[in-house]
Structure 1
Amino acid sequence: MQKKIFFLIFLTILFLNIYSQNNEIIKKQDTNSLIKGIFYPNCVFYEIFVQSFYDTNNDGIGDIKGVVKKLDYLSNLGIQAIWLMPINPSPSYHKYDITDYCNIHPDYGTINDFKTLVKEAHKRDIKIIIDLVVNHTSSNHPWFVEASKGKGNKYHDYYVWSTDKAIFSKEPYHWHFLKDSLGNEIRDEKYYGFFWHGMPDLNYDNEELRKEIINIGKFWLKDINIDGFRLDAVRFFYPEEEIKKNYRWWQQFRREMDNVKTNFFMVGEIWGEDTVVAPFLTKGINAGFNFDLSYAIINAANKQVDNGLIEKVIKIRSLYKSYEPDFIDAIFLTNHDQDRVMSELQNNIDKAKVAASLLLTLPGSPFIYYGEEIGMRGKKPDELIREPMIWDYDNKEKGQTYWEEALYSTSRTIVPVSAQLNDSNSIFNHYKKLIGFRKKSKALTLGDIKSTDLKNINVISFYREFENESLLVICNLSKKEQIIYLSELASKYNKLVFSTKGGVEIIDNKIVVPAYANLIFKK
């Protein structure tokens, strides 16, 4: 009996010791994560158009090795994850019409170059996601080439075809005839291509096609070891009247990818209001880009008045949570399909800093478009919002790309990276400072948001809270200093822990906020 008692005591002590050690390991991991700011995918992303980023073989076109070469630049900025715009073989400069889903465009390098990028990025605690463009293929894709030969092969049903003239009349610009080398129409049957005749849409009612896409996803996650996908044109995989099929497809895709890699992440391009985005989040896409919020941030920075931004954020997050408790909000200012934020703000550097301050203190996973951190400009057409990154004056940097002649962003209109790095007042260092603080704060990285009762039309303020950390964020939108009178609750936040500008005065129950300043207080 005594032996049994001693044995039970021994097991109890052993269990408690193991539990204590594991608890310490978890605490240590959590502390290390906080120091590095690694809560992927709750982190800061950086979108790169490889073609314009950095060139290592002097052909004027950016390449994968160029991204590797600039990983330390991105790490210095504080970037925690990279989204690469399409990198697959394609006949176009933008590469959203893909001919081979499991390879790298020869202008960009090789699949081994890409494996090196993933390995080197992971060494720096930087995750990699790539554009997965599977709403459509290129008309040069082998699948479509075979499909075009007629109904006698399996690839014909990989695409959407019809002979119904009534359907054609409803969407005349989306249905296309096959044509021969002389441009003559081949037969009565048309194929569907929502964006362009060179991008035929795939048929997701075909089970074999769905298996192909799932295998493509598995290849990149398992064989190449990337960390997720940005999903192009999510809304268009099925017609609007069959939207539930669309939801189910993304749920299926997510289940398949989750089986391959834990902590896998996918963010979708879902142009539309929050009510359009929300249903895709239910056990499907992890996050949708928040276009509504991007417009609201830019509007507030432009007009320099509180436009109800925080109420909008709270409303959207409440809706998303009702569909998916574990949702992630992908927030951004502008991307590769929109006029650059600096141009939207009339090239006003102070307004651009205000927009960045809001982006990097609001809840969600912020996405920064390459060059945004140095104030690059650009207006449509698309080529001109994807101009070469500016590394140095007069193209002194060997890796400067020159595949197109820039109109908006040159070393004469933009202060290049080389000059901004050591300028404490540069927009680059404004971004770096904000990202650095965000990474050290669980409240900013993971926390929720609450509105304040502080009244000033030229100021946006809000609380960010997570566990035992609670912050008060105050952003002056205007070119004049603003006086904020603190409520009883806000007055408890009396320790200034972050400021983008000096000259902050705290007198009794009021704060004098410098022009365009972003302040963060804690209790």
Structure 2
Amino acid sequence: AGIVIQINTIYFNPLFHSPSNHKYDTQDYRTIDPHFATNAEFKNFVKEAHAKGIKVVIDGVFNHTGSWHRWFDRAGQYDTIGAFENKSSQWSDFYNFSQWPSRYTSWWGFDTLPKLNYGSTKLRNEIYNNPDSIAKHWIKEYGVDGWRLDVPNEAGSNGGSDDHSIWQEYRKAVKSVKKDAVIIGELWKNAQPYLNGDQFDGVMNYEGFGDAVSTYINDGMTIETTKREKISTTQFDLWIRSILAKNPTQANQVVMNLLDSHDTSRFMHRAGNDKWKMYEAAIFQMTFVGAPMIYYGDEIGMTGDKDPDCRRPFNWNYNKSEHLVPLYKKLGQLRKDNSALRRGTFETALIDDQNEIYSYVRMDKKNRVLVVL
């Protein structure tokens, strides 16, 4: 029997065809990587997930492609002519060349990740505007329930208009085919300008949750595994409430509250394998404002340093006496049974800096829940 915990959404890291293990260098936006499944198998997976009341969100890496994508084709592996091969390529304006073909804008200088140029109307149409654009295709044909967007704050920095106009257009396109499709942006800081109802529904909550929780519980160890001065309970409360105050309530309820991810070290690593710190973090995660995002392996206390160590395969031989599954299961049921934990207000109840006690109340018209950490 597998592990059973209460979840209602699966968010996948990139699934599209790519030669790497991480798949953030897309080769084909319309094909599931054969290491994972066929397109037909993925479609059936989404159908089965929906039958169990589980939604499916997929990763959209639309800031750049891999250099092996048909549009670029640096390796010359396709019959069509890519932008790297000929200036007259039908995709030549999908990228920016300062000196064709050897000098082009790439993500953080990695020449295998040429950046897309959103100054191209044709590119925008292919990504999100056309009736069968990539963004619409996976929703209409495969039933996916939303997109998580990789480095969206960098999309406009390559000859296109600013990021906000790009994602305003993207939102209109996606919502036109599925009104309740969720759009989540990967933003590490300063997310508020993207959360005014015209771009993203929420973000991966690194700043307002993940970093705050790690810094507080792990005695100054940040989510990026850098050491800073330990913060008090009062400082922690001010941190999280300041971010809540910046964002609209609707966005706060949708942000993905994560303890770790594929881009950070594992929380358990930062906690020095102290399971009690992990317990405390999990309780806060499942009772705070927003959508708790459990990175695979958190439920069994997996550890790991920064990428790639945080991306180890799931350990199916985990220590049954040490894992957190019963806790996550109870917390999931508690969250399901109490609407206040999902949509209620958040109020600080008690702060004790000396004994490091933090308590707060989640409340709506039906429930009032007091949490003490």
Bucket of the pairwise TM-score, normalised by the shorter protein: 0.7 to 0.9
Q: Does 1:435 align with 2:352?
A: no
1-structure distance, mates of 2:273, 2:211: 17
Shift of 1:103: 0.9
Mapping of 1:384-463 within 5 angstroms?
Answer: 384-392=309-317, 414-415=318-319, 419=320, 426-457=323-354, 458-463=356-361
Q: Deviations over 1:370-415 (max 9, x none)?
A: 00110001013x22211111113xxxxxxxxxxxxxxxxxxxxx41
2-structure distance, mates of 1:466, 1:310: 21
TM-score (norm 2): 0.87
Shift of 1:298: 1.4
> Corresponding residue for 1:364?
290
Q: 1:467 aligns with which of 335, 355, 365?
A: 365
Q: Deviations over 1:203-224 (max 9, x none)?
A: 0011110010011011111100
Shift of 1:453: 4.2
The answer (yes or no) to whether the contact 1:90–1:99 under 8 Å persists in 2 is yes
2-structure distance, mates of 1:352, 1:240: 41
Partner of 1:337, secondary structure, is coil
**1:143 to 1:254, Cα distance in 2 relative to 1, 3 A:** same
> Corresponding residue for 2:235?
308
Query: Which structure has the larger Rg over C-alpha atoms?
Result: 1
Partner of 2:341, secondary structure, is helix
2-structure distance, mates of 1:350, 1:236: 38
**1:198 to 1:240, Cα distance in 2 relative to 1, 3 A:** closer
1-structure distance, mates of 2:134, 2:107: 22
The answer (yes or no) to whether the contact 1:451–1:463 under 8 Å persists in 2 is yes
Q: Does 1:204 align with 2:118?
A: yes
Q: Does 1:151 align with 2:93?
A: no
Partner of 1:143, secondary structure, is coil
RMSD between aligned alpha carbons?
A: 2.2
Q: 1:334 aligns with which of 221, 240, 260?
A: 260
1-structure distance, mates of 2:97, 2:243: 38
Partner of 2:24, secondary structure, is coil
Sequence identity of aligned pairs in percent?
Answer: 32
TM-score (norm 1): 0.63
The answer (yes or no) to whether the contact 2:217–2:281 under 8 Å persists in 1 is yes
> Corresponding residue for 2:79?
none
Amino acid at match of 2:357: V
Amino acid at match of 1:299: T
Shift of 1:151: 2.3
Q: 1:103 aligns with which of 10, 28, 31?
A: 31
**1:137 to 1:454, Cα distance in 2 relative to 1, 3 A:** closer
Q: Deviations over 1:26-48 (max 9, x none)?
A: xxxxxxxxxxxxxxxxxxxxxxx
Q: Does 1:115 align with 2:43?
A: yes
2-structure distance, mates of 1:240, 1:291: 25
**1:471 to 1:252, Cα distance in 2 relative to 1, 3 A:** same
Range 191-200 or range 298-307, more displaced: 298-307
Shift of 1:73: 4.1
Shift of 1:328: 2.7
Q: Does 1:259 align with 2:176?
A: yes
**How many residues in Structure 1 have an aligned counterpart in Structure 2?**
346
Name which structure has the greater RCO, CA cutoff 8 Å, separation 6+.
1
Amino acid at match of 1:297: V
Shift of 1:325: 6.8
> Corresponding residue for 2:226?
none
Partner of 1:147, secondary structure, is coil
> Corresponding residue for 1:11?
none
Structure ranking higher in helix proportion? 1
Q: Deviations over 1:187-215 (max 9, x none)?
A: xxx21002311010000011110010011
Amino acid at match of 2:242: K
Amino acid at match of 2:282: A
Amino acid at match of 2:237: I
The answer (yes or no) to whether the contact 1:310–1:462 under 8 Å persists in 2 is no
Shift of 1:241: 11
2-structure distance, mates of 1:326, 1:332: 13
The answer (yes or no) to whether the contact 1:296–1:307 under 8 Å persists in 2 is no
1-structure distance, mates of 2:294, 2:348: 25
Q: Does 1:139 align with 2:59?
A: no
Q: 1:92 aligns with which of 13, 17, 20?
A: 20
